[in-house]
Structure 1
Amino acid sequence: MTTQGNDRYRPPLAKLPSWIRPGTLDTYLLGQTIPPFVIAVSVVLIALLLERLLVLLNVLASEASPFFTLLRLLADLMPHYLGLAMPAALCVSVFTVIRRMSEGDEIDALMSSGVSLARICRPFALTGAAIGLLSILLYGYIQPHARYQFREGFYFASHAGWAPVLQSGMFASPSPRLMLTADHVSHAGSQLKGVFIRDLGEGKERDITAQTGSLRTDAAKGEVQIELFNGSILTIRPGVQPTVTTFDHAQRLISRTNKATFRNRGDDERELTSRELARKIDAVRHAAKAEKGDTSQDTDTDLMPAPEASTSNDIPLTNMRAELNFRLARSLSIPFIPVLATALAVIGKRRRGSAGLAVAVLLLVTYDHILQLGESLIASGKSSPLLVIWLPTVVFCTACTLLLLFRASILPIRRSRPALPPTGAAGNVVEGAR
């Protein structure tokens, strides 16, 4: 006979350690944080993409590129801007939730019941840690591939030459000696009616008319061809009587783009994944040791540099070190952003407003610029990563933690002064009461 306790259902999350298992308070706080986080990410992404959208529209419109190319380029930009939007949205959402709870005396009620501010911040810190792990994948693997795809797509879009995008009644010039128009255009510019073409090439003039036609594009060959049906060709040569030729079906090459293939990925350190950067750095170091004769291994095996380091366009070692350290420092700093937002969002009982959010944004922007400056100094070979990347990172993370502990009264920095004895009339009243 089994007892009732053995048949009791245990949720899957109950098997997790107590310090990571979400409780009622954690669920409530995360539920309050998700909506503003999603809204903040969306707003920041839209703002950043709109700024780049205007630039892309000017370039692609001049090249008559299709709308699908614009959407593809914007999709390639998403990982880069998502890496900027997530930390900012995390800070804003956590600050909004804690400030609303502080103004509604929810923070005071929780702290009066024995829940510290550090305990309130725990689900936010764990969320920041999860976003930090995601950012390692985003910064180190997704962004390099997306950056290369964006550059490749932008190169082909801006060097595509004439694109077969026509409108009814408008003239198009695929080349200086060729002009064509159509009375009616349908199916995204591919089906034509009432076609007229003037060709001034080969020292003669040819005026071609056709009842219908269709444009066909061969992306592999970079060619644009037009098929004409039921038309005529008027050929005019200098000193020769013009001739007219009729046809039922004719095919003509409109334009040909001699475009070379885009370069391979890896000419820029920002196009390399974190693993590729680490391998290249290790390969360059082994090659440097081999040149100095510091290694005693077999020359044919251990002293041979890695294939990634033997390319014709080698990236400087300082640039690769700067990029790798910059990525890791940004990812490891994200879990401390909600800690900073929580500490700055709590306000006193009699204070209904402060510049906490402005201070948080200012600190984050300053910290990010310091990391960028450190990356530049490392790339130029003027400083060490420990001094200009990891020292600011340790200072930032430590300052965020100490500020939260101070606001939670776990680490009091200022000692409370004892109350002074009453003086004057108030003192006489107290003495009389004694």
Structure 2
Amino acid sequence: MSRMSLPHRIVGKLSPNTMDRYLLRQVVPPFAIALGVVMAALLLERLLVLFDLLAANGSSMKTFVALLSDLVPHYLGLALPAAMCVSVFSVIRRMSANHEIDALTAGGVSIFRICQPFVLTGAIFGLLAFSLYGFIQPYARYDYRSAFYFASHAGWTPHLQSKMFAESDNILLTAETVDHAGSRMWNVFIRDQTDKAHVRLISAQKGYIYIPADGSKIRLDLVDGTIVTDSADKSPSITEFTRTTRLISPEAKLDDEAYRRRGETERELTVPELYYGIRHGNPTISHSYMIAELHFRLARTAAIPFIPILACALAGVRKRQKGNPGLAIAAITLVGFDHTLQMGMSFVANMHTSPLLVIWLPTLAFAVICICMLIHQAGGIRILLTRGPALPPRELSADGLPRRITEAGA
């Protein structure tokens, strides 16, 4: 029984009680609102740029949605800490203004205990952020860059329009009917001048543009058509076919740029790939860049559980205090910390500085500052060191306020 007592005590302390569930219910609505507002603000500028680009190239809404979805993991990693800070700050600020914090502390509940469910939630968000920073964002970044390059440079290749001529260096293509996605065509005509000695005039009833599974070339499948080959020194020849495949980009220059292999930059590598590259080397990426990227991601993840502590420390309202600049201070602190980490990552990558000095030392300083601010809000270090008089045990009554437990028979 004694061996099981410690795990039971740990589980008992971490299990949410009535107060924890109340606090978490209070924080969900402002968190959802803050997350939506921050995501909308971050995506708005890119959204307008994508609209201009895709409209100029005649791309479909499907391409726009795909590009926008690839941006979501990147901006979600920025929006999660901000939304968590704003939501916790708003809940503690409202409870402090309504004297709920005073009632809880008067009943023997410390500000550290009030902050506990938010810190545990921050730890869970830290794990989510680690999956974002370490695994999801590298793939999303690669998908976005390749799709953006393809949409902005491929010209007529990804999306065609009905009864309009689409031209590249050596190929002229038109189709009487093109579906909404631009990948299926009917009554296709192509003039192919890739071979300077011959001109091929191709007509087909149907055509399909697709990307092979290996990502090697973008291809055009033609069905039920005719190829007329015109040579300067010979009479034209006619070839009929039921199905043939033509390379839209014979020199593969566009394909190699748009669909290159993932991992040519350190930001496209997952955490295990970064660790493997640091241990065994990577021929295309500098060793210092991989070290900087790995430590930067880990430091950002480690700092997330301390954001609710910062919000709780700055959200308290003192008696007869009309305003509270705590949210502005929290925003400046978070932005300054993020810029410090980015500067430290640059130092590690370009100047080979130790990541312990320029990345982890600022992270440790951020954590210590958050904890010290919460201790100051609770009344200072003296409150932690001074043992007060023993108080009767308390529990939460039906109305949610602490009450003393009466002794049996009293």
TM-score, normalising length: structure 2: 0.74
Coordinate RMSD, CA, aligned = 4.0
Q: Which has the larger radius of gyration?
A: 1
Structure 2 distance, partners of 1:88, 1:227, is 54
Using a 3 Å threshold, how does the CA distance of structure 1 residues 406 and 216 change in structure 2: closer, same or farther? Answer: same
Identify the match of residue 264 of structure 1 among 238, 261, 266: 261
Identify the match of residue 379 of structure 1 among 349, 354, 359: 349
Structure 1 distance, partners of 2:266, 2:173, is 45
Using a 3 Å threshold, how does the CA distance of structure 1 residues 227 and 29 change in structure 2: closer, same or farther? Answer: same
Structure 2 distance, partners of 1:396, 1:252, is 59
Structure 1 distance, partners of 2:245, 2:368, is 71
Using a 3 Å threshold, how does the CA distance of structure 1 residues 53 and 408 change in structure 2: closer, same or farther? Answer: same
Partner residue in 1 for 2:118: 124
* DSSP 3-state at the match of 2:220: strand
Identify the match of residue 53 of structure 1 among 44, 47, 50: 47
Q: Which amino acid aligns with 1:217?
A: I
- Greater displacement, 263-272 / 184-193: 184-193
1:322-361 equivalences under 5 Å are: 322-361=292-331
Partner residue in 1 for 2:33: 39
Identity of aligned residues (%): 48
Structure 2 distance, partners of 1:101, 1:48, is 30
Q: Which runs of 5+ in 2 are unaligned?
A: 1-7, 233-237, 384-410
Q: Which runs of 5+ in 1 are unaligned?
A: 1-13, 239-244, 284-307, 414-434
8 Å contact from structure 1 (residues 227, 251) kept in 2? yes
Partner residue in 2 for 1:401: 371
Partner residue in 2 for 1:85: 79
Partner residue in 2 for 1:302: none
* DSSP 3-state at the match of 2:208: strand
Partner residue in 2 for 1:147: 141
Using a 3 Å threshold, how does the CA distance of structure 1 residues 64 and 224 change in structure 2: closer, same or farther? Answer: farther
Using a 3 Å threshold, how does the CA distance of structure 1 residues 150 and 188 change in structure 2: closer, same or farther? Answer: closer
8 Å contact from structure 1 (residues 144, 272) kept in 2? yes
Using a 3 Å threshold, how does the CA distance of structure 1 residues 16 and 69 change in structure 2: closer, same or farther? Answer: farther
TM-score, normalising length: structure 1: 0.70
Aligned-residue offset at 1:109:
1.5
8 Å contact from structure 1 (residues 214, 226) kept in 2? yes
* DSSP 3-state at the match of 2:264: coil
Using a 3 Å threshold, how does the CA distance of structure 1 residues 237 and 320 change in structure 2: closer, same or farther? Answer: closer
1:6-405 equivalences under 5 Å are: 17-163=11-157, 165-167=159-161, 170-173=164-167, 178=172, 180=174, 182=176, 188=181, 213-220=205-212, 221-224=217-220, 255-256=248-249, 258=252, 259-260=255-256, 262-281=259-278, 283=279, 308-309=280-281, 311-316=282-287, 318-381=288-351, 383-405=353-375
8 Å contact from structure 1 (residues 103, 352) kept in 2? no
Structure 2 distance, partners of 1:236, 1:203, is 9
Kindly tell me the number of residue pairs found equivalent between the two proteins: 365
Aligned-residue offset at 1:222:
2.4
8 Å contact from structure 2 (residues 265, 285) kept in 1? no
8 Å contact from structure 1 (residues 181, 197) kept in 2? yes
Using a 3 Å threshold, how does the CA distance of structure 1 residues 164 and 409 change in structure 2: closer, same or farther? Answer: closer
Using a 3 Å threshold, how does the CA distance of structure 1 residues 402 and 110 change in structure 2: closer, same or farther? Answer: same
Q: Which amino acid aligns with 2:328?
A: A
